[in-house]
Structure 1
Amino acid sequence: LSAVYFAWIGLFLMIYEFVFKRRRKEFLLVSVLFILSLILAMGAVRLNFLFAFPVALMAGYCLIR
């Protein structure tokens, strides 16, 4: 699996935690999503920017929040 699939899995896990569980595990999921978005940003030369930008924007929003 590539970093794109791991990033989408992390995104769906974070959405699941926000919507259904409402526990305070969001720091772990946001940090994992942020690391994966950094991996996507480093590999953005060979990847499509449509995969890198939404994950990076979601991670930035959650870090500011």
Structure 2
Amino acid sequence: MRLVIDLDEKYKNLFYEVVKAANASIVEEEPGFWTTLPENVKAGIKKSQEQARNGQTKTYEEVKEILAAQ
């Protein structure tokens, strides 16, 4: 079984002791790009992905025209 725990550094030694007692192992990983993003940014990305799946996209030329009209 693989278990991923997002851990505060101050508890690191405690988890190493638990792992040792359970005869398990720890693989340390740096947080991925997604996990470092603020929640509002993640929400915006998810919304954009949903819009793209629904065909709600504009070409580069369309965007240029919209911005030029502002």
Regarding TM over 0.5, the answer is no
TM-score by length of 1: 0.28
Structure ranking higher in helix proportion = 1
- TM-score calculated relative to the size of structure 2: 0.27
Higher relative contact order (CA 8 A, sep 6+): 1
User: Whose radius of gyration is greater, 1 or 2?
Assistant: 2
